[in-house]
Amino acid sequence: MHPILGTILQRLLLGLITLFFVSLIIFSAIEFLPGDFTQAVLGQAATEETVAAFRRELGLDQPAYLRYFNWVGSVMTGDLGTSFSGRAASGVDRSRAVIDLIAPRLWNTLFLAGMAGIVAVPLALFLGVTAALYRNTMYDRTVNAATLTTISFPEFFVAYLLILFFASLWPVFPSLANVNVDTPFMERIYKCALPALTLTLVIVAHMMRMTRAAIINLLASPYIEMAKLKGVSRARVILRHALPNAWAPIATVIAFNLAYLVVGVVVVEVVFVYPGIGQLMVDAVTTRDIPVVQACALIFAATYIILNLIADIIGIVTNPRLLHPR
Amino acid sequence: MTTDNPKGQKGDVLLEMKNITIDGFSDEKWHPIIKGVDLTLKRGEVMGLIGESGAGKSTLGLAAMGFARPGCKITGGSIDFDGHDLINATEDELRALWGTRIAYVAQSAAASFNPAHRLLDQTVESTLDASLQTSDAAQSDARELYASLQLPDPDNIGDRYPHQVSGGQLQRMMTAMAMSSRPDLIIFDEPTTALDVTTQVEVLVAMRDIVERFNTAAIYITHDLAVVAQMADFIKVLRYGEEVEEAETRKMLSAPTEDYTKSLWSVRALEKPENISDDTVLEVKNVDAAYAGTVKVLHDVNIKIARGTTVAVVGESGSGKSTTARVITGLLPPLTGETLFNGEPLPPALKDRSKDQLQRIQMIYQMADTAMNPRQTVAEIIGRPLEFYHGLRGRKKQDRILELLDMIELDQTFYDRLPSELSGGQKQRVCIARALAAEPEVIICDEVTSALDQIVQEGILRLLLRLQKEFNITYLFITHDIAVVQAISDEIVVMYQGGVVEQGPKSVVMSPPYPDYTQLLLSSVPEMDPDWLSNLVDGRE
């Protein structure tokens, strides 16, 4: 077996262990939330008996460790549980499976993240490489200043500016990104244009600057000087000699930003009224709908772990010392 | 492939540099590095460029390509390379010459090959970029070059990555890379400095033969006069950016006119009367050791070190010299065997040793740069062991630091300086003071002079000898430099592939009969004789 496969398997295992610890943290964090679903639904006026009966029905009367193991046990069989909302003390159960609540929202989020990522990552790489190539020129300074400006404004501000210009003054895109399951693909792209653009503007700076820095950092290496003295052109020095050695730090930053696109965009969702998973989680926290909160948190954690794992693997396979051991 | 690249006759002037001045930027201002040097090189000629570090050899060598490193600029003079004015050439014009007509062989081949690409691709890169040959033709030519440079498995070695071949092989690989486009001129910038003597010989032979075969002109930069004597037709000596003298190689060696040139091989003049004693202070007994428990690097190593003497451990890289030092200091607990100190076994691992045991064995490293915290002043660096081992503080500590500075021949102004403000030799002196501060019985010196040039080396060795006399310190001196061994050792341990080949007094080890490996090692040390390499090659065949 290639030693790389061993390393990858090892990282996967570590990822699973991390996920296990994260599940512990999520569960205990929710335990510390004041109040619970019964109080949120029944309100202040409820008698102690009704609250107790409702708690018993939801299983909230059981000790914490039992609830934790029940939860982890069912998650491992693929069952994220049933949402609390829709249940009432009356005994009428209109609740839905957590998976049914989350799936369409997650798809929306991934769609938006994918759209922003497909634009932002190549753009950031291109800007980073060219800025390194023409470093300390007018071009370099302009790119740096522009990306720094967009990252310095709060996301909602960027979003409202885009709405002002592209939805109001010059109405080419809709200001609301209200999609649902039946929205056709092209219309979806059209509706998501402004939120995707907002996110692109927010994440490009970080990736672009890291690409530029990683390449420039390598330009002092003896092998870059050697390449120059071999008569290799400036563009080829960057693309052929510097970039292949710079993937590891770049991949890490890309993974970080892609993860952010999935887990950190609730503000943008709110501005554009986009039905993503971020809003779902915020709503679930307000109503103490614990199964949904837990599922969302777990998905977020898994996103981070998986993307970082991929960045790690890219770092390994682009390092010839690891890919081709002696 | 040289057909479309018309070469002139041997004897035509190829490169002419006149009154070159180069400035370097440091301490916030520009300083002259090269102060008006002339250089003329004819086709097919090899010039040796020699001087200590900081003399401006590399800067001048690179200027011959019309290149100045960042932080340097060529401020005056003229460079004419075969009709091209390199001073006023544009970047594109220079690039058209580099890699095709002028090639560069760098000092550290390991750092100068791109880790991400296969060696063959890098070898033919310039040739292909300039469309001098088709890819297939260039690659098969490269394989032939590998073969003529005596690289193992020349048909397939190019498919490897730089980290998969040894340093000596990489250095030859780089010569093949320079040769791929059949340039008119190759600049060799200290190409064998990082290699040990036995490897150096192979690389020198390979480089000399191939330069001769293709009638390539070359500038060979080095600080080792004995090495350049084997390669060059004539030698130019540089000092402080100025020419000291230039002469035909044989003439230079037999009758250097300048005192400075003579001083360049002064270490070879240093000798120490042999001191043999039976009072064993440190003994390594039957030690086997391995890294990460897999590859065994030491087999049954036995070394005895007598008090107040210098035991030199010699051998090529990978022979286990430094590993032995790591075992003695406890950095690498051995698999079997033990280290006895004054007859008592030392705990194998560093963390199990008492403060007292730690204090008695100190270490000095090859790279003084990386062995000091760059953000600590000299006083902090020397003061740390004073505090740690002897509990000195305040006034007492300060006095002792000044005393130690005096011992290493540095004045009080060094007290508050940072390592970055010191020269290579001064840094190594501070490291010596730090080891002395602990008041040890044994100091392990791991290649402490390898990174220094001859004159500085001599100063450090004299200092070590003086300290030994004054404080009866025992040295375990690890080196691959036989000249250094001659200069300071009482006893010699020869190591090869993780085992001890022989141990004995210097007078015995350094005189015949030799075991095979000792013979190879001793015969590989370049001598101040231009025919030495040729004779050696003839003798070995």
For B:63-122, CB contacts with A below 8 A are: 65, 67, 69-70, 95-100, 103-104, 106, 108, 111-117
A225 interfaces chain B, CB cutoff of 8 Å = yes
- Show residues of chain A in contact with B164, CB under 8 Å: 324, 326
Question: Could you check whether B13-249 and B280-377+424-510 share the same CATH topology?
Answer: yes
**Six-digit token string for A247:** 């993937």
A245 interfaces chain B, CB cutoff of 8 Å = yes
Handedness of CA A182, A186, A187, A192 (dihedral sign): positive
Q: Phi then psi for B113, rounded to 5 degrees?
A: -90, 140
> CA-to-CA distance for A287 and A88, rounded, in angstroms?
13
A235 interfaces chain B, CB cutoff of 8 Å = no
Q: Which of B116, B129, B164 has its CB closest to that of A231?
A: B129
Count Cβ atoms within 10 A of the Cβ of residue B68 and give its class: 0-12 exposed, 13-18 middle, 19 or more buried. Answer: middle
Pairwise CB contact (< 8 Å): A232 & B126: yes
- Show residues of chain A in contact with B108, CB under 8 Å: 222
> CA-to-CA distance for B412 and B33, rounded, in angstroms?
29
Distance between start and end Cα atoms, chain A: 15
A326 interfaces chain B, CB cutoff of 8 Å = yes
- Show residues of chain B in contact with A222, CB under 8 Å: 106, 108, 111-112
* CB distance B19 to B40 below 8 Å: no
Name all domains of chain A by residue range, CATH numbers in brackets.
99-286 (1.10.3720.10)
A and B: number of Cβ contacts within 8 A = 79
pLDDT string in tens for chain A (326-residue length): 677 788 888 888 999 999 999 999 998 988 887 777 777 777 777 778 888 888 887 778 888 888 888 888 888 888 888 887 766 555 566 678 888 889 999 999 999 999 999 999 999 999 999 999 998 899 999 999 999 998 899 999 999 999 999 998 998 898 888 888 888 889 999 999 999 999 999 999 999 999 999 999 898 888 999 999 999 998 999 999 999 999 999 999 999 999 999 988 889 999 999 999 998 998 888 888 888 988 999 999 999 999 999 998 898 888 888 888 76
Minimal C-alpha gap between B122 and chain A (Å): 9
pLDDT value of residue B1: 39
Mutation test of the interface with chain B: which of A134, A226, A245, choosing the one with the most B Cβ atoms within 10 A? A226
Pairwise CB contact (< 8 Å): B164 & A324: yes
Tens-digit pLDDT profile for residues A3-33 = 778 888 888 899 999 999 999 999 898 888 7
pLDDT value of residue B8: 61
For residue B191, is the peptide bond before it cis, meaning its omega torsion is within 30 degrees of 0? Answer: no
C-alpha closest to that of B444 among B407, B481, B411, B475:
B475
> CA-to-CA distance for B72 and B62, rounded, in angstroms?
11
Handedness of CA B66, B72, B75, B77 (dihedral sign): negative
Low-confidence residues of chain B, pLDDT below 70? 1-10, 194, 265-270, 292-294, 541
Taking the domains of chain B in order of start, what are their residue ranges?
13-249, 280-377+424-510
> CA-to-CA distance for B379 and B413, rounded, in angstroms?
11
Q: What fold characterizes domain B280-377+424-510?
A: Rossmann fold (3.40.50)
B262 interfaces chain A, CB cutoff of 8 Å = no
> CA-to-CA distance for B206 and B199, rounded, in angstroms?
11
Tens-digit pLDDT profile for residues B499-528 = 888 888 888 887 777 777 888 887 887 777
* Three-state secondary structure call for residue B375: coil
Distance between start and end Cα atoms, chain B: 32
Would strands B185-189 and B102-105 be described as parallel, antiparallel, or unpaired? parallel
> CA-to-CA distance for B13 and B8, rounded, in angstroms?
9
pLDDT value of residue B4: 39
pLDDT value of residue B2: 40
* CB distance B506 to B489 below 8 Å: yes
- Show residues of chain A in contact with B179, CB under 8 Å: none
Question: The domain at B13-249 falls in which architecture?
Answer: 3-Layer(aba) Sandwich (3.40)
Pairwise CB contact (< 8 Å): B97 & A245: no
- Burial track B164-177 (b if 16+ CB lie within 10 A, e otherwise): bbebbbbbbbbbbb
For B:128-187, CB contacts with A below 8 A are: 129-130, 160-161, 163-164, 177
